[in-house]
Structure 1
Amino acid sequence: MVIDDFWLANKRDSKMNNMTAYSTRFPNGIKSVGKYLHSKNLLFGINLGNGATKCSGYPESINQLELDAKAVTDWGVVFVKLHACHCTKNDFEKFTKLPEGTGRPVMLLCTYPEYKYWITNSKLFDWKRLQKTCNLWRAPSNERNDSRYIIHFINSHKIHDDDSPNVAGLGCWNDPDMLALGNNGLSNDRNRVHVGMWCMFAAPLLISADIGKMDKFSASLLRSKHLLTINRDKGGHRVKFVKSRNDVQLWIRKLSDHPSGWVIAYVRTRDDGRSIKFITSLDKFKSQMYTISGYKFEILDVFTGEKFNVVKLTEKFTISINPSGIMMFRIIPFQLTLSSK
């Protein structure tokens, strides 16, 4: 459970300069929130800032990093989203080391890349430095409850496929922001794109919605064992964009968990018109990092959990993709056993 912005009071404590909670929203303070969440076997996360003020104007942690690091560990916080709004110095490394000194390590989400102009010139950003410091990093703009945001992030990742994703892997992940499904702003097809591609990106599945009021379709996506298995694959392999054809993007990711193989996705970026028939084959999924290899494969539909087809590497097959839709398949090589007589 992560408390995002607007939990702070307008000013720090006048005596000790400690962060204080907004009294109307949290009359018993933040530490009591942590105790309650822990009593429910939930982990506790919180939003801090590393600038003069937060984007919302509330106090940030600049020049108070040590004090605030001690506070969050005392509250039982294990996840910190460190904002970089109005940040004039790049000292997010300093905050990373402070919780370790308290005996309680904290997972750190850095939003620093979101405020750098690396989109137009990726050489402006030191991704290796970020990899050494942060467990997660936020690159695109904040989550929006509409389909344009989802495609914006996917396209941004596609354009800079050789930049930001290169450092992603075990222990250091790209974070495309929270999932917005369940808020009545997305169609079922776009919800599938949303969750499916976030699983392809091996992104954290943080949900920005009222779980108690979530519709059944959105809830079914979040409970899908096939999607969650892909998202949590132990290999932590990065996703790769392959190519676009007829407004359909092709993506691939290697999987290590049994049965090992690949997962591929066809994302249709147009939101108008009808469903289209798309002729394809597995040998089309070639990139500098991954190439599907083998003779014969079982194709599993990730969203239905059913076997879609059995094909050879170069054998053509046809799929149907809705506007703003996605088809996502797990590719499992047939294991040929040779016996001598």
Structure 2
Amino acid sequence: MKLKTFIIGIALLLGCNVHAQMFFGEEKAIPDSIFNSLAQTPPMGWNSWNKFGCNVSEDLIKEMADAMVESGMKDAGYEYIVIDDCWQVGRDSTGNIIPDPKHFPHGMKALADYIHSRGLKLGIYSCAGSYTCQGRPGSRGYQFQDARQYAAWGIDYLKYDWCSNEGQNAQAAYQTMSDAIKQSGRPIVFSICEWGENQPWKWGKGIGHMWRVTPDIRDCFQCKFDWGGVGVLDIIDIMADLYPYAGPGHWNDAEMLEIGNGGMTKDEYITHFSMWCMLATPLMAGNDLRKMDAETKEILTNKEVISVNQDKLGQQARRFMDMGEKEIWAKPLANGELAVCFLNRTETTWHLNYDWHKQTIYFADQVNIHKKEYTIRDLWKHQNIGTTQANTVCDIPPHGVLMVRLSEK
């Protein structure tokens, strides 16, 4: 009798192991080599939070996808439609996460199918804690179950927040979800969002594809709030020294874009977009794509500026010269080119008269202005404005930039 019981037990155990292999076996899991090959350039897309907060729905997401295609944003390189917090309302009797049936009546699989039919990819949001930042169910204790569910729905991108973290070790918490994503069998881009509190740039590579370095952005050029919101210049200053940690498949995340939400001037929004492209950070629009004016569309779809962000060399710009409130940033590009951004942080016009030979920007063998002549192209005017053999003279407006690309003549 004992022998029979033992044999049955072994059979059940083997059955469980076979079942486990069906979900977690090597033949199904995404290997590190595939996972790490994702996001070779900074991801581009749209996220619901900055404009809509908790007011998300199936109809809204479909309309944003349609607008991304029809506005020309897809053609400019944007591809992810990301639903932030508040899409989930609970878990069923087996622990599966439940989308809000009122606002997402057809479920996430049908929504993903629609997004994919538009040639786009769907992103979703969860949290490393027991609850999300808006009190919805988080993924703590359900990481592998949630990742399998996301894979079954056809999710392509996961933003993973840090509210209600209950004192967890951040690296371990994000490693667990990273492992769950890999075991899900679907290549999902993983966005670490713990606000830079635990220096994720030091450990995030191989765990995620990007990591937030600051608290939430606010629609202002320079501002700070007691509860953690920061403005554009504050984020730039935090990003300045993090360039060694960025590269293909692993990016410092400067937060979502506020362009089009009305809190800044046109010149400030141009600076916001220019510097995000120089800093090789993900470009996640945060406005209402259905109602963009010509100015907003012009900024968000400037392909010459976007090409600097998407450059395959994958280097983050460095602050080459800091003259107090006037700065020069430089970003080496593929094919021996260079992007340079003159940033005017002041309230007055910068009357620039720049001698390229006197104040040489030099990057080893990549760029050498003393040995070669470079054509200078203004990426906002879309025209060549001279060469490095002569001084560059122009007026840079308050809170504005001159962003140029240098190509060997």
Report TM bin, short chain. 0.7 to 0.9
Decide which moves more: 278-287 or 133-142.
278-287
| SS of corresponding position for 1:132 | coil
In structure 2, relative to structure 1, the CA distance for the partners of 1:17 and 1:326 (3 Å cut) is same
Pairwise CA distance, 1:92: 0.9
1: CA distance, partners of 2:249 / 2:164: 27
2:376 aligns with one of 299, 303, 316? 299
Q: Take 1:144 and 1:41, find their aligned partners in 2: how far apart are those partners?
A: 30
1:239 shift after superposition: 1.1
State yes or no: 1:276 paired with 2:344: no
Q: Which residue of 1 aligns with 2:182?
A: 100
**Match for residue 337 of structure 1?**
none
- Give the corresponding residue for 2:299: 221
Unaligned runs of 5+ in 1: 117-124, 335-341
Shift of 1:298: 1.2
TM-score normalised to the size of structure 2? 0.72
- Where in structure 2 are the equivalents of 1:231-246 lying within 5 Å? 231-245=309-323
Equivalence for 2:91? 12
CA RMSD of aligned residues (A): 1.9
Residues 251 and 264, structure 1, Cα contact 8 Å, conserved in 2: yes
Q: State the alpha-carbon separation in 2 of the partners of residues 246 and 127 from structure 1.
A: 27
Check whether the contact 1:136–1:173 (CA below 8 A) recurs between aligned residues. Answer: yes
How far apart in 1 are the matches of 2:310 and 2:193? 22
Counterparts of residues 97-176 of structure 1 (less than 5 Å): 97-116=179-198, 125=199, 127-148=201-222, 149-158=231-240, 161=241, 164-176=242-254
Contact 1:242 1:287 in 2 (8 A): no
AA matched with 1:4: D
Once the 2 structures are TM-superposed, how far is the Cα of residue 288 of structure 1 from its aligned partner?
Answer: 7.6
8 Å contact kept, 1:49–1:61 = yes
Deviations 1:171-219 (A, max 9, x none): 1111111111112222110111111111111222111111121111121
Q: Within 5 Å, which residues of 2 pair with 1:322-341?
A: 322-334=397-409
Contact 1:150/1:194 (CA < 8 Å) preserved in 2? yes
The separation in 2 between residues aligned to 1:147 and 1:287, in whole angstroms, is: 30
Please tell me the residue identity of whatever aligns with 2:105. P
SS in 2 for 1:184: coil
Task: State the alpha-carbon separation in 2 of the partners of residues 135 and 67 from structure 1.
Answer: 21
Asked which structure has the greater CA Rg, the reply is 2
Between the aligned partners of 1:115 and 1:59, the Cα distance in structure 2 is 22
In the alignment, the residues of structure 2 paired with residue 38 and residue 25 of structure 1 have an alpha-carbon distance, to the nearest angstrom, of: 20
Question: How many angstroms does 1:115 deviate by?
Answer: 3.1
Aligned counterparts of 2:213 and 2:102: Cα–Cα separation in 1: 33
Does structure 1 retain, via aligned residues, the 8 Å contact 2:195–2:216?
no
Give the distance between the partners of 2:356 and 2:151, measured in 1 at CA.
Answer: 49
SS of 2:176's equivalent in the other structure is helix
Q: How does 1:197-212 map to 2 (within 5 A)?
A: 197-212=275-290
* Larger relative contact order, structure 1 or 2 (CA cutoff 8 Å, min sep 6): 2
Residue pair 2:239, 2:254 contacting (<8 A) in 1 also: no
Q: Is the CA contact (8 Å cut-off) linking 1:53 and 1:60 kept in structure 2?
A: yes
- The count of corresponding residues between Structure 1 and Structure 2 is 314
Alignment counterpart, residue 124 of structure 2, candidates 24, 27, 46: 46
The 8 Å contact of residues 160 and 193 in structure 2, kept in 1 or not, is answered as: yes
Aligned equivalents of 2:103, 2:360: Cα separation in 1 = 51
Work out which of the residue numbers 377, 380, 393 in structure 2 matches 1:318.
Answer: 393
Deviations 1:104-153 (A, max 9, x none): 1111000125333xxxxxxxx36342112110111112132222211111
* Structure 1 residue 243, shift from structure 2 partner: 2.0
What's the CA shift string for 1:61-120, capped at 9, x where partnerless? 01110110011111100100011223223321121122322321111000125333xxxx
